[in-house]
Amino acid sequence: MTDGKLIRRALAAAFCGLAFAGTTATCVGQATFEGAPIRYLDGQPCNRVAELQARSEAGTLPCEYDARRGYLPALLKLLDIDPATQMLVFSKTSFQLRLIAPQTPRALYFNDDVYVGYVPGGDVTEISVADPQFGAVFYTVDQAPATGMRFVRRTHECLQCHSSSVTQGVPGHLVRSVFPDREGHPILRAGSFVTTHESPFAQRWGGWYVTGTHGQQQHMGNSTMERGAREDQFDRSAGANVTDLNAFCDVTPYMQPHSDLVALMVLEHQSHVHNLITAANFQTRLALHDERVINEMLGRPQGEHSASTLRRIRNASEKLVEGLLLSREATLQSPVSGTSDFARAFSARGPRDSQGRSLRDFDLQRRLFKYPCSYLVYSAAFDGLPAEAKDCVYQRLEAILTAPVTSDQFVHLSADDRRAVREILRETKPEFVQAGAQANAGPQVK
C-alpha cells in the first residue's frame, strides 16, 4: 500500500472518531469500541466482578448458597452492596422477561460501581459493572447450587439494548420508564422515557414499584394501563405516595420490602453519569489513538497534541462536566422521602471535608443532592479516565466553580453552591487541587 493510501486511511479513521465524538449512532459506536484502542470484546476487564470471577475459577471464592435466594445474599456481600439499595421493576423489559410481572418483579441492587439484577426463580443473577476501561461490562451468575458461584461474561446479547444513542453510543446502563399493561408488557405505541436526573418527575418510573412520599407531584410508578387506553388516560394518582407494597405483590422473596424512591433517584443519576464517563473515556482514547496513527503516517514526532485532538478531548469532557454538576436537573416541586434505610446508609459512605460536608449528602427538598456535584468523581470509572480527560474535567470544574456563572448549563449553581463544592473537592480529591492550579495555563497547543 502506498504512503498516500496509508495516510488517507489514517485520516478516514480520524474522521470516524470525530463522527463518534459528535454523534451517538449505534453502528458508529460499536464499530469504534470493538476495534483499537478500546477492544471491548477481546480486552481483559479489570473490575470488582472480574476479580471475583478469577477467584471463582481458582476455587478460592466462598460459595454460600441460600435455599430461598440462591447466591444473591453472598454475592451482594462480596460486592459490598447494601440490600437497602433494592428497587423493584415489574415491566417486561429485561432478558428474563418471562418471569417478570407485577406479581413477581425483578429486583435491582447497586453500589458506586456494580449493578445486580435478581428475579425469584430465575436461572441466573445478572451483573453489570462500570469498568474503568470498557464501560458497562455484563456478567451472569448461575443460580444452580451444583455449579458454585460461576461468573460468565456476556457481550453481544447485552449490547443489543445497552449500546445505543440512549447510552451515549457506548456500552452503558439504561433506566427506562414505560407504560405497562396489567401483565407488565410495555405498551410501546404509548412511548417510553429514558430516565436521568434531568427527567420531569411525571415521566419517571413507569413499570417500577416506588415506595416513598412526594407530596402533590406524581410519577408513573406503581400503576398499569389498559392496552386500549391513550397515554393521557394513564392514572398517575393511583401509585402516588405508596409506602407499603403488600397490596401490589408478595415482597417476602426479596431482600427488603421496599423499592425506595431515593434509591431510584440516585440510580437514574448514577447510570447517566457512568455513561458520560465512559463516553469521555472512549472519545479521548480514540482522539489520542488517531493522532498517534496520523503522526506516524506523516513522520511527525509523538507527544505533542494538535489543536484538533485537544478540541475533541474538550468536547468529550464538557458533557461529563455538565453531568457531574447535575446540569438541567429537574426541580422537585415537593420534598421527597424514601421508606428504607437507603438515604442514611448512602450518605454515610462518602468522604467528608473538615466541616463534615460530603457530596453524598442529600437535599431532597428541591433537588437530589445538597451540594450539586456527583459523588462519582471518587469512582473507579472516573479514576480510570485518561490523564488528558481528567485534567480537562478538573480544569473546567475549577473555572466554573471560581467564576460568575454565565452559561445556561450552570445557572443552577449559586455562589454558595460553587464555593462549597470547590472546598469539598479540594479537601477530598487531591488530583483536583493539582489540576486546578493549571486551569489558567491550559495545555500547549501545537
Q: What confidence tens digit (pLDDT) does each residue in 117-148 have?
A: 999 999 999 999 999 999 999 999 998 887 78
- Residue 363's pLDDT band, with cuts at 50, 70 and 90, is very high
Q: Residue 140: its pLDDT value, please? A: 94
pLDDT given for residue 17 in this prediction? 29
Report the percent of the chain where pLDDT is more than 90. 72
Indicate the pLDDT class of residue 275, thresholds 50, 70 and 90. Answer: very high
Q: Which of 181, 180, 178 is nearest to 191 (CA)?
A: 178
With a CB cutoff of 8 Å and minimum separation 6, the contacts of 48 are 79, 113, 114, 129
Q: Are 444 and 403 in contact (CB under 8 A)?
A: no
DSSP 3-state assignment of 139?
strand
Check: CB of residue 203 under 8 Å from CB of residue 193. Answer: yes
Check residue 161 and give its pLDDT. Answer: 72
Q: How many helices (H) and strands (E) does the chain have?
A: 12, 10
Integer distance in angstroms from the first to the last C-alpha of the chain?
29
Q: Is 191 left (phi over 0), alpha (psi -120 to 50) or beta?
A: left
For the chain, give the mean pLDDT.
88
Rounded to the nearest 10°, the torsion over CA 127, 133, 134, 137 is -10
Could you tell me the maximum CA-CA distance found in the chain, to the nearest angstrom? Answer: 72
What is the reported pLDDT for 35?
Answer: 85
Lowest mean pLDDT among 159-163, 181-185, 266-270, 277-281: 159-163
**pLDDT band for position 21 (50/70/90)?**
very low
Contact present, 169 and 28 (Cβ < 8 Å): yes
Residues in CB range of 121: below 8 A, 6 or more apart: 99, 104
Query: What pLDDT score was predicted for residue 298?
Result: 83
With left for phi above 0 and alpha for psi between -120 and 50, is residue 70 left, alpha or beta?
left
The pLDDT tens digits for 64-122 are 899 999 999 999 999 999 999 999 999 998 888 899 999 999 999 999 999 999 999 99
